[in-house]
Amino acid sequence: MSGHHCITLAANPPYFDGDKSKYLGFVDSCTTYIGAYRSEFSQDETKILFVLSYLRNESGTSCAASRWAMIWKQHNFDGFQGLKAGTTAKTFLEELQRAFGDSNAEQVTAARLMALRQNKRSFADYISDFEMLASDAGYNVVDTTNDKGEYKKGDQDNILIAPQLPPPSRGSPPAGYLLGTLRRLAEGTQ
């Protein structure tokens, strides 16, 4: 007996009611889903409508996210003609971030990054945490693992971190400090 098996590449995102503490998880779920089914989401309008369809609570009653979605559509859709000119998935996500994202999340994460210490953890575990925090703080972190996801022994000097520094007023640490800290940790001098 043969049958077709459908492989689920990603779970549907959860509904988002506007609770800021759940915003990052919601966006991550949407990004994962859209990435997994990339061929279905080739146009910005499709991506935007997909995310908009999850801006509500599970029961379908009005909430902060559904009210925001309704107002956003009134300003950015031209009836059934589609998106107004200049509206992109990028601009949509920027507006969604302004509405529901934590405005000081990068600063808090940057502070956690600066306080991060290797202590008794392995270098690989430390770097994994470092990269995650650096990415969340707004830095572009280059993956330094081999094809097995392992760090090469003695190769710590080749670890590349190319920060895209936010404006100084946002409190992000300077790139030189981060790189110097990483090198000192790799050498075991911190």
Residue 173 DSSP label = P
In a shared domain, residues 175 and 148 = yes
Neighbours of 34 (CB within 10 A): 18
Kindly tell me if the per-residue pLDDT of 8 is higher than 50: yes
The residue from 74, 100, 126 where one domain ends is 100
More confident residue, 48 or 121: 48
Residue 165 belongs to what domain range? 105-187
Average pLDDT over residues 5-27: 89
3-state class (DSSP) for residue 88: coil
Distance CA 109, CA 98 (A): 18
Q: How many domains does the chain have?
A: 2
pTM over 0.95, yes/no: no
Average pLDDT over residues 29-53: 94
- Owner of token pair 């190769």: 155
Within-domain flag for 8: no
Tell me what pLDDT residue 115 has: 81
